[in-house]
Structure 1
Amino acid sequence: LKEVYKPVEVHKAFYTGGNLEWSLDGLYIYCHCGDSIQILDVNKGKVIAFLGDNDDKEEIIDYMQTFTLDSKNNFVFSAHKSGLLKVWDLQEKKVVKHWRTVHKGPVAKLALSLDSTILATGGSDSSVRVWDLQHHTCLHKLIGVKGVISVLTFFTSADTTYLFGAADDTVINAWDVNSGKVIMKLSGHYSTVTGIVVSHEGNYIVSSSRDKVIILWNFLTGAQINVIPLYESVEGLVLLPEKFTLPGTDRKVSGGVYVATGGEKGIIRIWDAIKVTELYVQQNSVIDSAKENSGLAITNLIFNEATSNFLVASSEHNIIIHDLETFSCLNQFIGFSDEVLDIIIVGHENSHIVVATNSSHIKMYKLNNMNSQLLRGHTDLVVSLASTPSNPCLFASSSKDNSIRVWLLENEIAYCVASGMLHNNSIGAVSISQLKASFVLSGSQDTVLKKWKLPNDFNHNQTITLQMKGAKAAHEKDINSITVSPNDKLVATASMDKTAKLWESKDLTLLGTLRGHKRGVWTVSFSPSDQVLLTTSADTTLKIWSISDLSCLKTFEGHDSSVLKAYFLSNGLQIISSGGDGLLKLWNVKTSECSASFDKHNGKIWALAVMEGERIIITGGDDSQLVIWHDMTEEVKLAKAKGLQEKACKEQQLANFLQADDLLNALRLALSLDRPATVLKVFQDLINRGETGLGETVSQLDEKDKQLLLNCASHWNANSKFCYPAQMVISLLIDEIALGELKPSKEILESVSAYTERHFRRLTQLLQDLHFVEYTKIVMKPHCIPLGK
């Protein structure tokens, strides 16, 4: 039986919107996430480090507003809500300098000069400040902009450094950084300016805006040369190399000013700004276009010259990397999943996990490196997923768009091969037959249970329409869960009407209703070995039901909130369940008791998947976390047995040391074995030998043993009988505590202080009583008659 599951991997949100920076070599992406910067390794697909506070707090104390990376990738500069600018050393991962910006309000944008000696900060107070990073002094307060700064960028010519900036007034200002004076004002946009780039020779300026145009300007005169209509709000603008080959062709271009844009259509477009020509339009975008006019689709666009790759960030916080030469998708990273609603494990040898979140896109991850793929097809939130052991590469999904889709995994790519759209409302549950993948079942908020026929073969180049083979009005309220028995003969459904029902799979004939839950039933599942059903409910209980007579056999109580998912383990002898209380619980079916509880989530655990062999469990919840748990029962047992063996050896060794009168080694062993009584005996023996030997012995202990000895002394100090050895320990260690070399806990110090004061008062009273006895003796002596006279 399973006893212990431990979380070995926790995949959290690493990008929640805001700024992104890409290292020069293209190996690392710096992502804004709450009050921290998460450093993502592109090759591993995992966060390897972070800057700032990585704790999951409900309230962020000093929110990080924006950041930028220096040109050599050695330092990160960040602006915070408190008004502080912080400099982070990327080697040490810590702040090495900070100072106040003096802006009246938040800092919206940061920009660094090419040599990283000058920093520009753009605030919401209609001002830009220029800082000398060598002396950390403000060189200039640049004026001329009105509103919140939307873009800042430096350009350095042979002898002059220029700063370009724009704000809510849509006018582009150019300042001479040395003098701090405005040298140029470019007026032409009618909405927020989102990007400014200067051509390689420094002759032209290109700007983009949410007014759906890009403008080419003459750098020397400030005159407009070309206004290029894009018919989409632009959020990203990057300058491309002077010479490159157009994606997917052999055509090489050179001699122009080439830029790439990204905006509300969700695609990257390449332009020749001088010839006003669109050179390339992306055809393979995985980002949906904005649902509203002038809405967001692409939020960030970066071009890495070293790798000739594009980095695109979407409004759903997904990060995609494309190659310029072929425009193939090289990497996809899911920055933020919002609520995880369902998880299934698919692929040969359980190679992938498929995740449904608060999105119309299904996320598929490769388990060994967490490389991801976005599966597009649904037009509204995907709420349920289903797989089948008969074909591990086949799975189904259901959505709030009233449709189900069937997907096939081939060569690590998932294709939509079938769809069904005959429900009248959101489909909350879907299931595939287990013994043979011959049919799919779906249940909707329209309370109807439907059966769909699956073909024997699929073609990943074609999406067929599923044929419906049966429908029944199954429940009075929403259907939450559907499951098919291991032999494909029975179907069970669970609903918010507080019931679960049993059906024949052939023609959806009702066999019976399971009544007993006091609130809606979330899930239902069959036992792999016995003729029983398992249900979980919002009434915080799990129940096991007999299939033969539909009676309730057992009820499991222990969750403090709704039980959202549960499965049988160990051939039906155990149950694993997840709840709204954020706990994963392991149950013994025979005793109906909870044998273990595991805590790693910070909210409801909606999703639970058990890998074949039950060695691995994967959970997801409303905290946007994916947690991978491993069965560590054998490891824990072996560690426990090894620990007992080592303890027995140490106890024998301790007895040998005591017999040989080797008190120093005996003291160390007694401390490591957590034997306060033996430590006290050894310490009293040391006291009897004299203070010099005692001090030498304690001084030879390492810091850990001294800490343990002080903990023992705090326990002895609570008893007046053993206060003397306790005070001796405190006396020997007090100097190290005062110097900070030894750092006991606050509780230990408070306990030692309180009992020491009590012992001091008691001993003071005893001393007074002793002096009174002595005084009485002296006074009585002249009046006493010696004995014998």
Structure 2
Amino acid sequence: MAMSLKEIYEKTSEHEAFYTGGEIQWTKDGANFLCQCDDLIKVIDINTVRNTNTFGSSGDGDEETDPIYTFQLSHNNDTVVSAHKSGLIKLWDFATGLVQKTWRAGHKGSVAKLAYDVNDTNIASGSSDGNIRLWDLVHYTCTSSLKGSLGVFSVLKYHPDSLKNLIFGAADDTKIRSWDTKTGKEKMLYSGHFSKVTSIQFTSDGDYMVSSGRDRVLILWKLTESKSLRVIPVYECIETMFLLPLSFKVPNFNKKLDTEGIYVACAGEKGTVKVWNVAMSRLMFEQTNSLVSPTSEEGGLAITHLLFNEARNILSVVSVDHNIIIYDLETFNCMKQITGFSDEILDIVFIGNEEDHVVVATNSQDLKLYQLDNMNCKLIKGHTDIVLALAKFPTNKEMFVSSGKDNSVRIWKLNVCGDITCLGVGKRHTGSVGALSTSQTTCSYFASVSQDNCLKVWSVPKDFNDTESTLISSHTELAHNMDINCVAISPNDKIIGTGSQDKTAKLWTEDLTMLGILKGHRRGVWCVKFSPVDQVVLTSSADSSIKLWSIADLSCLKTFEGHESSVLKIEFISKGQQILSTGADGLLKLWNIKTSECKMSLDNHDGKVWSLAVNLNESIIITGGSDSKLVLLRDVSAEKRDKMIREREELILQEQELLNLLHDKKLVKALKLALRMERPFHVLKIVNEVLKFGTEKLSQTLKEINNTQKETLLRFAAEWNTNTKNCQAAQLVFNILAPEIISGNLQVPSLSRFIEGALPYTERHFERLTNLLQDLNFISYTVNCMQPHSIRN
């Protein structure tokens, strides 16, 4: 039995960026994150990782959005305030996402920080001009302008005790200042940091303050004194911190040993969370299970935010790679990982016996393991530079290989717990390893290609130790003179194909003896694939074409053209009868090989589509690209075919019923059915049949149909009106329905467009009838003039 071909894939879900850096905040109940995403603020449900609301679009139909520089959520979670590029400050209702108030900030520079007071009745805006403005939310007026700081504000915070009337700020001058919010005068200057101040926190009694900075210290201050009480060296740049509540637990820490203490959790360049007792200058806890890599740059950052939710006693770590990792504070076990922004998605593979997981390589050294049913994410660490390529073993769905810019290849395995472990590492390449392909019939070997222009074949050990094995390269060949973009192994494991920037594809034996060169592309070859059933190989190129080649004589059998730019990925499906292709034009195309016809073209991406993964039964496709989107598509060809069959059967029954009604002269029922079936010709036939009994009969008949059917009839009448032969029926329908339209009983959508379409033809018919009447009158006159003459003769 011939395999039915695919006809259409339908997008079922799309996972795009929701946090691209900047401000991020947690709602009081711990259910949502507010994340800065390009020009918008997105509200993300933690459980479903779905975008439930968006702030930032003007909502008045404007094309351009006003980019958001920073935002702040009120303490009671009722409102959100945002500062914009245009110099405006907007107050949003959190529940509805609508703007409550907009006003101009009045700063000379852009607003860098915003803060609510404890009662959420005042807002402070700190600018790059070194000034703070205080705003009364009841009257929306500026109550004070606080001066004294220099540069851009990095910290802005009201004191938690509203009776103290204090606000604190720190800018580029590294000094922390406090001002009286009533008088607007500077109260105290806290000078102790020698680099940017990144965070300040107040103790529960309101008497002390802890500050952190890029100068690798935490400082404890007494608010009434400008001199620091204690300076604690923490040996890393601290970007973020929070004060732990009076009662808390963390692993391996007995609080009873420290009866007095101010406990601070902080993080920065080393990528781990540490808890310090700042009153005792003692490190109490250091995280050992961090999923954030330490920064490799001097003065760089690994963690940008630490957020604590007291309601749930959970902590979230936000990494510089835009990953959000949620921990239970008491056990410090990782509860959830969320990816806010994947940058470019470079490759995707399905893994697991049920193919219910996908591994994604993004512009990062960490791989991302997604669970397909809920898109929960896990970070997989191992590579030391960006991962470029992935390939799975068809005979063992839990094993896959990866390669990257660290010049290495790695073998991984998914275990029963849903965790991934690295089984082996190979480091024989001298350049970035850009593509991989695995043995199709066994798990004994795989091939890799690199920027060093080498093609390598790697042996896979039969048994792996508990430690990472060192992989051995069995064969190496200098395969091309330019960068090699792709590699593929044939279904019988006998041939290896490579494609390069040198515009050629080459075929090799298992021991890397060259079999032949495929020449014909005008630009670099991006992808090579072997047919699962025929002795043919498929190549795609930067010349926007896909070519099908004979392996036997290396001739080009077919060329498929349709993409507007480079074709980056190709796959055979339907037992080699169809091709899927993705390109730099953002399109996914489905081709029939036999007819060379493009059956489907989907535009789901805003940039290059680098990655394409198809599951084993070809029911699901996942694409990923430079727009950071993961798009899941489902094969709906069978449903579409079934639907068409059902519709055809229903149509045959309706047509038979219509013929029966016409035969039995049940004209009203026939008219209703013909209108429902959208049959203008049958409706005209019925109207003409009714007209045999006179215009009054037509008028009575039209009273028995509803307004929707009258609208359809008017549309058909406008169609008949274009033909001289049918214009009488059309004009009579217009004449009968016109009083209903004028009285408003019949609402016609786009009435003006309908009149514009019908009027020219009506005028033409009127002119023709007028001319006909004139001609008839002239003939009558001529005949009358001729009659007396005949009598006289």
TM-score interval for Structure 1 and Structure 2 normalised by the shorter chain: 0.7 to 0.9
Q: Match for 2:505 among 497, 500, 503?
A: 500
Residue 26 of structure 1: SS of its match in structure 2? Answer: coil
Residue 645 of structure 2: SS of its match in structure 1? Answer: helix
Query: Which amino acid in 2 is paired with 1:378?
Result: H
Q: Match for 2:452 among 422, 436, 446?
A: 446
CA–CA distance in structure 2, aligned partners of residues 240 and 360 of structure 1? 32
1:578-624 CA distance string (max 9 Å, x none): 12222211122222322222221222211111101111111111121
- Once the two structures are TM-superposed, the CA of residue 631 in structure 1 deviates from its matched residue by 0.6
| Change in CA separation of 1:761 and 1:286 when aligned onto 2, cut-off 3 Å | same
- Once the two structures are TM-superposed, the CA of residue 753 in structure 1 deviates from its matched residue by 6.3
Q: Match for 2:191 among 181, 187, 190?
A: 187
Kept in 2, the 8 Å contact 1:242–1:256? The answer is: no
Residue 107 of structure 2: SS of its match in structure 1? Answer: coil
Aligned residue number for residue 517 of structure 2: 513
Q: Match for 2:597 among 593, 597, 617?
A: 593
Kept in 1, the 8 Å contact 2:74–2:80? The answer is: yes
Query: Which amino acid in 2 is paired with 1:70?
Result: S
Aligned residue number for residue 784 of structure 2: none
1:635-646 equivalent positions in 2, closer than 5 A: 635-646=639-650
2:423 is equivalent to residue 423 of structure 1: no
| Change in CA separation of 1:518 and 1:185 when aligned onto 2, cut-off 3 Å | same
2:11 is equivalent to residue 13 of structure 1: no
1:627-680 CA distance string (max 9 Å, x none): 111110111112222233344455566678889999998776555533455667
| Change in CA separation of 1:764 and 1:490 when aligned onto 2, cut-off 3 Å | closer
CA–CA distance in structure 2, aligned partners of residues 51 and 143 of structure 1? 31
Kept in 2, the 8 Å contact 1:450–1:470? The answer is: yes
CA–CA distance in structure 2, aligned partners of residues 104 and 661 of structure 1? 83
2:502 is equivalent to residue 491 of structure 1: no
1:373-428 CA distance string (max 9 Å, x none): 22222222211111111211111111122111111211211122211111121111
Query: Which amino acid in 2 is paired with 1:430?
Result: L
CA–CA distance in structure 2, aligned partners of residues 62 and 682 of structure 1? 58
Point out the more displaced range, 151-160 or 583-592. 151-160
- Once the two structures are TM-superposed, the CA of residue 734 in structure 1 deviates from its matched residue by 6.9
| Change in CA separation of 1:635 and 1:762 when aligned onto 2, cut-off 3 Å | closer
Q: Match for 1:297 among 302, 307, 310?
A: 302
CA–CA distance in structure 2, aligned partners of residues 53 and 650 of structure 1? 48
Kept in 1, the 8 Å contact 2:344–2:362? The answer is: yes
CA–CA distance in structure 1, aligned partners of residues 504 and 458 of structure 2? 24
Q: Match for 2:266 among 255, 261, 267?
A: 261
CA–CA distance in structure 2, aligned partners of residues 53 and 737 of structure 1? 39
Kept in 1, the 8 Å contact 2:454–2:479? The answer is: yes
What is the TM-score with the length of structure 2 in the denominator? 0.87
2:117 is equivalent to residue 113 of structure 1: yes
2:250 is equivalent to residue 237 of structure 1: no
1:35-88 CA distance string (max 9 Å, x none): 322222222233344334499x99953112222222233333323223333333
Residue 565 of structure 2: SS of its match in structure 1? Answer: coil
Aligned residue number for residue 81 of structure 2: 77
1:196-252 CA distance string (max 9 Å, x none): 111011110111222332221112334311122233322212111112223344555
1:677-697 CA distance string (max 9 Å, x none): 566788897994599979977
Q: Match for 1:560 among 547, 551, 564?
A: 564
Aligned residue number for residue 341 of structure 2: 336
- Once the two structures are TM-superposed, the CA of residue 8 in structure 1 deviates from its matched residue by 0.6
Query: Which amino acid in 1 is paired with 2:266?
Result: T
Aligned residue number for residue 537 of structure 1: 541
Aligned residue number for residue 782 of structure 2: none
1:152-551 equivalent positions in 2, closer than 5 A: 152-157=156-161, 159-249=163-253, 255-410=260-415, 411-459=417-465, 461-505=466-510, 507-551=511-555
CA–CA distance in structure 2, aligned partners of residues 695 and 129 of structure 1? 70
| Change in CA separation of 1:183 and 1:472 when aligned onto 2, cut-off 3 Å | same
- Once the two structures are TM-superposed, the CA of residue 9 in structure 1 deviates from its matched residue by 1.0
Q: Match for 2:619 among 615, 619, 629?
A: 615
- Once the two structures are TM-superposed, the CA of residue 89 in structure 1 deviates from its matched residue by 3.3
- Matched pairs, number: 773
Kept in 2, the 8 Å contact 1:716–1:723? The answer is: no
Residue 292 of structure 2: SS of its match in structure 1? Answer: coil
| Change in CA separation of 1:644 and 1:303 when aligned onto 2, cut-off 3 Å | same
CA–CA distance in structure 2, aligned partners of residues 727 and 190 of structure 1? 88
Kept in 2, the 8 Å contact 1:717–1:752? The answer is: no
- Once the two structures are TM-superposed, the CA of residue 323 in structure 1 deviates from its matched residue by 2.1
CA–CA distance in structure 2, aligned partners of residues 495 and 488 of structure 1? 21
| Change in CA separation of 1:106 and 1:718 when aligned onto 2, cut-off 3 Å | farther
Residue 648 of structure 2: SS of its match in structure 1? Answer: helix
Query: Which amino acid in 2 is paired with 1:416?
Result: C
| Change in CA separation of 1:143 and 1:551 when aligned onto 2, cut-off 3 Å | same
Kept in 2, the 8 Å contact 1:543–1:555? The answer is: yes
Residue 643 of structure 1: SS of its match in structure 2? Answer: helix
| Change in CA separation of 1:555 and 1:758 when aligned onto 2, cut-off 3 Å | closer
Point out the more displaced range, 751-760 or 346-355. 751-760
Kept in 1, the 8 Å contact 2:361–2:390? The answer is: yes
Residue 238 of structure 1: SS of its match in structure 2? Answer: strand
Kept in 2, the 8 Å contact 1:710–1:730? The answer is: no
- Once the two structures are TM-superposed, the CA of residue 713 in structure 1 deviates from its matched residue by 7.1
1:315-370 CA distance string (max 9 Å, x none): 22111112222222221111111211111111121121111122222222111111
Aligned residue number for residue 781 of structure 1: none
| Change in CA separation of 1:729 and 1:363 when aligned onto 2, cut-off 3 Å | farther
Gaps of 5+ in 1: 777-784
CA–CA distance in structure 1, aligned partners of residues 735 and 627 of structure 2? 49
| Change in CA separation of 1:682 and 1:80 when aligned onto 2, cut-off 3 Å | farther
Report % sequence identity: 46
Gaps of 5+ in 2: 779-786
Q: Match for 2:31 among 27, 30, 48?
A: 27
Kept in 1, the 8 Å contact 2:253–2:284? The answer is: no
1:522-559 CA distance string (max 9 Å, x none): 11122222222222222222222223333333322222
Point out the more displaced range, 724-733 or 475-484. 724-733
CA–CA distance in structure 2, aligned partners of residues 294 and 59 of structure 1? 40
| Change in CA separation of 1:65 and 1:658 when aligned onto 2, cut-off 3 Å | farther
CA–CA distance in structure 1, aligned partners of residues 341 and 57 of structure 2? 17
Query: Which amino acid in 2 is paired with 1:176?
Result: D
Aligned residue number for residue 89 of structure 1: 93
Query: Which amino acid in 2 is paired with 1:385?
Result: L
Aligned residue number for residue 781 of structure 2: none
Kept in 1, the 8 Å contact 2:722–2:761? The answer is: no
What is the TM-score with the length of structure 1 in the denominator? 0.88
Query: Which amino acid in 1 is paired with 2:381?
Result: R
Point out the more displaced range, 9-18 or 683-692. 683-692
CA–CA distance in structure 1, aligned partners of residues 634 and 242 of structure 2? 45
Kept in 2, the 8 Å contact 1:521–1:537? The answer is: yes
- Once the two structures are TM-superposed, the CA of residue 725 in structure 1 deviates from its matched residue by 4.8
Query: Which amino acid in 2 is paired with 1:396?
Result: V
CA–CA distance in structure 2, aligned partners of residues 307 and 556 of structure 1? 57
